[in-house]
Chains A and B, each alone.
Chain A
Amino acid sequence: MDTYVPILALGLIAAAFAIFSVVIGSLTGPKRYNRAKLDSYECGIEPTPQPVGGGRFPVKYYLTAMLFIVFDIEIVFLYPWAVAFDALGWFGLAEMVLFVLTVLVAYAYVWRRGGLDWD
């Protein structure tokens, strides 16, 4: 656990600084109420009423998120494999080629079906 003490220390310092900044920022500045100022900014026109979070996101973002997860998981397996590569030898290489090819099949599918096109 000792390994993480320095990180904790740095984190405490950073957190103290950041919280201090946020708090002090709200204290030092002037406060002059103005309804328009507190409105959402939409280039000066009357903001469109909408729920917090803006309602629905374009579905593309979800798709990107899913693809990211797939590749991130691929990386999860790549790292230990890479670190232990010298010990694994040909077997490791062959298995990883198989694995990567499988992922690439999915990748090719997504690409061909327009999953990577951002309109």
Chain B
Amino acid sequence: MNPDSYLYLSAILFSLGALGVLIRRDAIVVFMCIELMLNAANLAFVTFSRMHGRLDGQIFAFFTMVVAAAEVVVGLAIIITVFRTRRSASVDDANLLKY
């Protein structure tokens, strides 16, 4: 199978994620979109890894997973704290710092 297809898929996923971050307002959804971007990068890494016949791309993917997990932990903690305080996870409601 042509690896280019995977790259296209990964680029589409990444763009979707980035778009989601920019237009969605719910912190959790924004966060999910970021995770989607990370996973898109992972897909790209694995594809390139296969194209180059080298393993370091896969190792990178592993580490990305770890980082994504750590991000989930930290992010969830922050979002829940804000959520518990404001009873809303909308980014728009977090407006105390509006310029």
Contact = CB atoms under 8 A, between A and B. Distances in A.
Question: B-side binding surface: helix, strand, loop or mixed?
Answer: helix
A73 interface: yes
A66 B66 contact: no
Size bracket, chain B contacts: 10 to 19
A39 B75 CA distance: 36
Given A1-B1, A59-B80, A62-B80, A70 B65 contact: no
Contacts of A69: 69, 72-73
A90 B66 CA distance: 24
Size class of the contact patch on chain A: 10 to 19
B81 to A, nearest CB: 9
Contacts of A62: 76-77, 80
Contact of A66 (B1, B62, B77): B77
Contacts of B84: 56, 59
Interface of A: 1, 56, 59, 62, 65-66, 69-70, 72-73, 76-77
Interface of B: 1, 62, 65-66, 69, 72-73, 76-77, 80, 83-84
10 closest A-B pairs by beta carbon, nearest first, are A66-B73, A73-B69, A69-B69, A73-B66, A62-B80, A69-B72, A62-B76, A69-B73, A66-B76, A76-B65
